[in-house]
Structure 1
Amino acid sequence: MTSMHAPRPADELARLFNPRSIAIVGASANPNSFGGRFMTNLAGFEGKIYFVNPRYEEIEGKPCAPSLSALPEVPDCVLVASGLKTVEAIFEEAVALGAGGVVLIASGFAETGDSETAAVQDRLAARAKESGVPLVGPNTIGFVNFATRAGATFLTGLDLERGYDCLAERRTIGLVSQSGALGLSLAQSMNREVYFSHVLSCGNSADIDLADCANYLVDDPHCRVIVCLLEGLRDPRRLEQVARRATLAGKPIILCKMARGDHGAQAAASHTGSLAGSHAAYKTMIERAGGIVIERFEELIETATFLSKAGKPSGNGAMVIATSGGAAILAADAAEAQHVPLPQPDGSVLETLGAHIPAFGSVRNPADVTAEVVNNIESLTACVEAVLARDDFAALVIPHPLAYDTAYPRIALLDRLAGEAGKVISMVWLSGWLEGPGSSEIETARNLAMFRSMDGCFSAISTWIDWDRRRAAIEQDPPIPLTDARVRSRAADVLSKSDGAVVAEREAKALLATYGVPVTEDRRAATSEAVRHCASEMGGRLVMKIDSPDIAHKTEVGGIALGLETPDAAVSAYERMIDAVAKAAPDARINGVIIQRMVPEGLEIVIGARIDPAFGPLVLVGLGGVLVELMADSVTAPAPVSQSQALDMLSKLRAAPLLDGFRNMPRVDRDALARIIVRVSEFATDHADKIAELDINPVICNGSDIVAADALIVLQRT
């Protein structure tokens, strides 16, 4: 279960990531060694550099100390370029001196799977936490702080001088990556005029992890947008706190998560276990904290660059001014796919477009101004100014189909007009000549945002508008518990005394009912006569289910019978069911059957929870019934959730329109359904130390009449 530790405060990492002095342990006269590469990359550092290596008295005419203790001052940042066998002693020396932090690049630790080297990493992590001296790594490529020219990395191929020498106002993107190579591959977009405040790499994250690094960037004045390239975290909920802080500070935080497979769900006993994936939980967690999740690695930098330039969206849609009918069609398709409205021009905009666009063009949105307007700078200026002056358009998109030198004046014009209006124009590069004339000029322009695809452009615009909407609605405080402490205690006692791997339907529903989950009334019967007696007393149409702690999915073994209208029908169904289940599951313990009144037809929803090794309790809602896993329409979130968060989960289902009524089905009371999700999330949170999964399927929704018809609780193995 998650520890819910807070991320490391930013001021505790200031000496490490914004150092005034750096010591290179393992400095070397060999320029190709790790120590030698550190020296090369730190040649322009604005602070003090110290060399440490007992093999040298000096390197390149500069003194080299035999140890950290021999230096004239305690360094802020210690870069350790030595092997696995020596790092513990070096770290202990740094701790004893009170260094600001240590970067450990050596590999061969826990990532190898070897127990001995993993133990070394564990000892280093424990000492870092005990001493308060931050440790980055092991197995990291280091970091770069472009504001202070601190190229504390051994990697080559990154034009650090280019990043150092650009205007400070352009170094706005802070990049944090668990993968050092992929992080620096993104940083090479500096060759496309995209600049960074920091590039931070975590490596094995024995102590300082991605959440700590991102939290540091929230408080850094040079960083306006935070990009996180993530594989996974031991304690993901810490990143939720960082995302909330960044959003409240007005900084977009963008997450792209790799390693999306959810292997832990493969052997799940309940529907919930196979649906509630950790990647889905990351997405919901970050978005509810106001952050942004990008699914495609290729869109990370374009989206971050756009957000670093764009201000607050003034409207909810985009206007497209195209010089090609085909480009206009591409824009219309992409806008529809990304759910970006294209409002039709009216008033002054329509009047201006009509006055300047020839009859064979189009004044509708997307507008086709044709080559006539492109070649007439006054007409193009009038059209663009008219759109930029109107706040009902959040964005102006101008496709750029061809690469040619004569476009330079037009690019400069668009940059100037956007700057005067205080807005950004999105330019979509459609030419197959990717680095052709004009591409660099667009990327260099302060008020133009370059996109290499129409879908990427409208995806970024959609993300921008959605982020602005969500940031105003994020919740700063965790949900308040709704269930009485005595109820929680009684439920915990029942779970502790349960024998076997599962709590079957009748007992599971009784437990959930104490938390306010509406459930069907059940009777248990274990003989034909008992079945007849129950059916006679209950009357009406009945449902019969097999009662067994060993059968998770009753339908698959013939363990459900519906629409039983007479006692005789109930007895016949009972005898057939006992026989069928005995053949299908001969080793299962059979306690008899459960009889309940048949709930009127309605929309079937599944609500469940599972305990994730990293996240702790996760709650799930999805389209339910017997086809639940086939449809795989579900939303997962870390528990507990609030009422508004539960409503947001419902809105993200593909089947959400069914909740608003479909054909002759009544509109489902979303508030009532969300309250059940909240209660289930609280149950899972309260008993995360005892349960592994719980599954309520189906929850039958008929207007405001919502009831759980079946439930299963899978207990943790002891």
Structure 2
Amino acid sequence: MTESPHSPGARNSGLAVFRDPASVAVVGASANPAKWGYWLARGALAGRDRRAVHLVTRSGGELFGRPAAASLDDLPDVPELVAFCVPAREVPGVVGQALALGVRGLLGITAGVPDGSGLAARVAAAGARMIGPSSLGLFDAESALQITWGDFPAGHLAVVSQSGQVGSEIALLAQRAGLGISRFVSVGSQLDVTTAELLEDLVDHDTTRAVGVYLESFQDGRRIFDAIRALRAAGKPVVLLAVGSSEAGARAARSHTSALTSPMELVDAACRAAGALRVDTPAALVDVAACLLAGALPDGPRLGIVSDSGGQGALAADRAGRRGIRVPELSAPLAADLAALLPDGAATANPVDLAGAGERDLGTYRETAVRLLRSGEVDSVVLSGYFGRYGLDSPALAEAEQRVAAELAEAAREMGRPLLLHSMGAEGAATRVLREAGVPVFATIDAATDALAGAVALRSSPGRSLAPPAGAAAVPAGSGYWPARGLLSDAGIAFPGARQVADAGQVADAAELLRPPYVLKAGWLEHKSEAGGVRVGLPDGPSAASAFTEMHARLGDGAYVLEEQDVRPDVVELILGGRRDARLGPMVTVGAGGTEAELHRDSVTECAPVDLEQAHAMLRSLRCAPLLAGWRGRPPVDTGSLARAVVAVSRLVARLAGDDTELEINPLRAGADGAIAVDALLVTHRDDHAPDTKGES
């Protein structure tokens, strides 16, 4: 892309001015390399062959051999984009001056700007757009636009960060890994332009092939993940680095389901649905990006390991296994082929130990890797150990090692399968050859295997549509068991027979209509067992009435329920729930249930709605899944009915009107003849008046 204007989406949102403005002005330009104004002016001038660049400084005069104006009013024409790094007290005046001139875009570097909401309102009223304030700037390799601190080598990784410093760290680590930047945007305070908009603007950014994102807030979470889904559909996978909020998690934990589900688990569910990957550190983000940008992605999790040390091969295999990467035993013909190439005593089952052959002939690294890559028995290959260090320790070997490195890269490209290198000399010339040819190089084996695992996860998780079912479902008035039971029953969830009761006489009447034994429960309590709000195994009406009298004396008036007790043998108790998260949308959770649900903490959460296939996959992923299949002679439970229940709850949660609503079944008793819900909870937060904290997810 070489000319403005850009895509219709960019034009409509007003973001084209941040891609390729016809002119730029830097207000607060400086000749002092210790100041922001120096770096902004220097970077802007790097694109002066493409656009007009104006420098504005209080004293006017000359900067960088060019005339500098004392004010925006003194410029010969109106710039499209104005970047300002002036004292906070001067920002309102600079912004007002720019808007009066008709400036379309503003980039605010200054932090601590007073009355941010008022400033944003002025920008919006003028029909302009603003990134920041508190931004560390932006860079676009396509248009030679650089208004930030430092330099960025051009490449194919876009970085969008809510923290300028973290974004800069990601860009620096990418540079060290041999990756260039296609676009860098430090979002800053998001008084106007948001992270979601900037991600949407990357969908048609031709140079970008992968995106790294750092998020501190999911205030606009659904739009953010819609943008991530669109990027994935455009062939631009997203790696996300995020921080959570323990305060948000504590506020949400009124149901067992929420107590089981951390904020980051919700983010992970959103990532899976959007086809993105979440990582824990900037280094991990860059490592995965290196795999994504290397060319071919692994078709599966089968890994071939080649090392010049048995110990390093074993460590690589162990680490890969812990990350879900398989290290399959090679077939007898392939092992024999490798044995003919290698000295006696070499291991050829996988990992492959060169047993010193690489030291005698560096070409052995190439030949071994090629045979694995073309075998069809593995999806990717990792070389682990000394290769890359020969030239550093023995300069006479440098040329040969670099030649083999180039041949390795060419072989991987021809075979269309990923090749990764873990090298004890990751800083050497041979490794530079590999990086420049697109082969990822890592200084540690854990970084290599973790990055490969991330690439495999992305390849196997393309994302899915989250279109809500037709028709909204109203949240019933009140909370507790009876409203939840009615809502869930209408959705197709099976419950035992039950009646609401308010006194001992009604309990006796209800017992005549229900099958014993009975359960009496204080239906309005969220955690009944802890409060003594449930009695089970009541054999007849008088026992039930007596239990009511005792419970009512302790707990007072409320919505009591008398219910038939499920006494089927060999059942497995599960928890099944959903919530409408205000930022990330509807979620469904299933896991090991009962009163010990929070102790076991065995659950999985996905974005709602899910289909039957996804519901079965959720059940299979539980640690308690063997219990569902039949444990030590017990009959297997009807997992089909369980999966249908998961689907039903997911669809119901997706249809609920309003946000911050939780719905839970605990326990859902699953047996060979189906699943029955024996307790449920409905919680709404509409009256909580909880603060809308940043970072809550």
Aligned to 1:427: 421
Distance 1:652 1:87 in 2: 54
> Would you say 1:143 and 2:145 are equivalent positions?
no
Looking at structure 2, the residues matched to 127 and 656 of structure 1 have their Cα atoms a distance apart, in angstroms, of 57
Once the 2 structures are TM-superposed, how far is the Cα of residue 517 of structure 1 from its aligned partner? 2.7
Counterparts in 2 of 1:404 and 1:621: CA distance versus 1, 3 Å: same
Deviation at 1:519, TM superposition (A): 2.4
Matched, 1:518 2:494: yes
Look up the equivalent residue of 1:466 and give its one-letter code. Answer: A
Residue of 112, 118, 121 corresponding to 2:116: 121
Residue 463 of structure 1 aligns to a residue whose secondary structure is helix
Indicate the residue corresponding to 1:40 in structure 2: 42
Q: CA deviation at 1:332?
A: 1.5
**Residues 1:25 and 2:1 aligned together:** no
1:397-476 counterparts in 2 under 5 A?
397-401=382-386, 403-405=389-391, 406=394, 408=398, 409-410=400-401, 412-422=403-413, 423-429=417-423, 431=424, 435=427, 437=428, 440-441=431-432, 444-471=435-462, 474-476=463-465
Query: What CA deviation, in whole Å up to 9, does each residue of 1:243-300 have, x standing for no partner?
Result: 2111111121110112353534347432233234332222111221111111343311
| Structure 2 counterparts to residues 272-351 of structure 1, below 5 A | 272-346=257-331, 349-351=334-336
Of 584, 602, 615 in structure 2, the residue corresponding to residue 633 of structure 1 is: 602
SS at match of 1:206: coil
Distance in structure 2 (CA, Å) of the matches to 1:301 and 1:175: 10
Give the TM-score normalised by structure 2.
0.87
Matches within 5 A, 1:574-613: 574-578=548-552, 582=554, 589-601=557-569, 602-613=571-582
User: Residue 607 of structure 1 aligns to which amino acid in structure 2?
Assistant: L
Q: What is the CA-CA distance between 1:643 and the residue it aligns to?
A: 4.9
Mark the CA change 1:287 to 1:193 in structure 2 (over 3 Å): closer, same or farther.
same
In structure 2, the CA distance between the partners of 1:61 and 1:328, relative to structure 1 (3 Å rule), is closer
Contact 1:426 1:457 in 2 (8 A): yes
Quickly say closer, same or farther: Cα 1:122–1:73, change in 2 above 3 A.
same
Residues 527-570 of structure 1 show CA distances to partners (whole Å, capped at 9, x for unaligned) of 445444443543343322234x3x22111122222233344544
Q: Who is 2:668 aligned against?
A: 699
What amino acid maps onto 1:506 in structure 2?
W
Contact kept? 1:320, 1:365, Cα under 8 Å: yes
Q: Look up the SS of the partner of 1:40 in the other structure.
A: helix
- 1:124 counterpart letter in structure 2: L
Report whether the alignment pairs 1:227 with 2:212.
Answer: yes
Aligned counterpart, 2:468: 479
Q: Please, which moves more after superposition, 52-61 or 233-242?
A: 52-61
Shift of 1:128: 4.2
1:680 counterpart = 2:675: no
Cα-to-partner distance string for 1:426-448 (whole Å, 9 max, x where unaligned)? 1113x4x774x457536634142
Question: How do residues 75-86 of structure 1 correspond to structure 2 at under 5 angstroms?
Answer: 75-86=79-90
Q: Which residue of 1 aligns with 2:9?
A: 9
Once the two structures are superposed, residues 553-610 of structure 1 have per-residue CA deviations (whole angstroms, 9 ceiling, x without a partner) of 111122222233344544454455445xx1xx5xx53444422232525222222234
Q: Return the offset for 1:64.
A: 2.6
For 1:87-102, list aligned pairs within 5 A.
87-102=91-106
Report how far residue 9 of structure 1 moved. 3.2
Comparing 90-99 with 180-189, greater Cα deviation is found at 90-99
| Worse overlay, 553-562 or 370-379 | 370-379
Show the counterpart of 2:536.
562
CA change 1:666–1:273 in 2 (3 A) is: same
Cα distance change on mapping 1:691 and 1:143 into 2, 3 Å: closer
Q: Which runs of 5+ in 1 are unaligned?
A: 1-6, 110-116
> CA 1:338–1:80 in structure 2 vs 1: closer, same or farther (change >3 Å)?
same
Aligned equivalents of 2:491 and 2:680: distance in 1? 14
Asked whether the equivalents of residues 599 and 700 of structure 1 are also in contact (C-alpha less than 8 Å), the reply is no
> 2:379 touches 2:418 (CA, 8 Å); kept in 1?
no
Distance 1:642 1:76, change over 3 A: farther
In structure 2, relative to structure 1, the CA distance for the partners of 1:470 and 1:690 (3 Å cut) is closer
Q: Which structure 2 residue ranges, 5 or more long, are not aligned?
A: 1-6, 689-697
Give the stretch that moved more between structures: 313-322 or 414-423.
Answer: 414-423
Where does 1:358-373 land on structure 2 (aligned, <5 Å)? Answer: 358-373=343-358
Whether the 8 Å contact between 2:293 and 2:438 is mirrored in structure 1 is no
Amino acid in structure 2 at the alignment position of 1:33: K
Task: Please state how far the C-alpha of 1:411 moved relative to its aligned partner.
Answer: 5.2
Query: 1: distance between equivalents of 2:652 and 2:84?
Result: 47
Alpha-carbon distance between aligned partners in 2 of 1:676 and 1:469, rounded to the nearest angstrom? 26
Corresponding position: 1:553 with 2:523: no
Give the match for residue 199 of structure 2. Answer: 214
What is the SS of the residue equivalent to 1:448?
coil
The one-letter code sitting in structure 2 at the alignment partner of 1:255 is L
> Partner amino acid for 1:559?
G
Distance in 1 (CA, whole Å) between partners of 2:100 and 2:608 is: 41
For 2:97 and 2:447, the matched residues in 1 are separated by 50
- Secondary structure of the structure 2 residue equivalent to 1:352: helix
TM-score (norm 1): 0.84
Distance 1:412 1:624, change over 3 A: farther
Structure 1 residues 521 and 209: CA distance shift in structure 2, 3 A: same
Change (3 A) 1:96 1:643: farther
Tell me what 1:543 maps to: 519
- Residue deviations 1:481-510 (CA, integer Å, cap 9, x gap): 3x5x6xx3xx45x42xx4xxxx22123201
2:624 aligned partner, one-letter code: A
Residues 535 and 547 of structure 2 are in contact (CA less than 8 Å); yes or no, is this contact kept in structure 1? yes
**1:402-424: per-residue Cα shift (whole Å, max 9, x none)?**
74424643454144133234244
- SS for the counterpart of 1:28 is coil
- TM-fit CA distance, 1:355: 0.5
Indicate if the aligned counterparts of 2:405 and 2:430 stay in contact, CA closer than 8 A. no
The separation in 2 between residues aligned to 1:532 and 1:391, in whole angstroms, is: 72
Decide which moves more: 559-568 or 286-295. Answer: 559-568
Aligned CA distance change for structure 1 residues 32 and 333 (closer, same or farther; 3 Å): closer
Aligned equivalent of 1:71: 75
Partners of 2:634 and 2:430 in 1: CA distance: 54
Distance 1:690 1:174, change over 3 A: closer
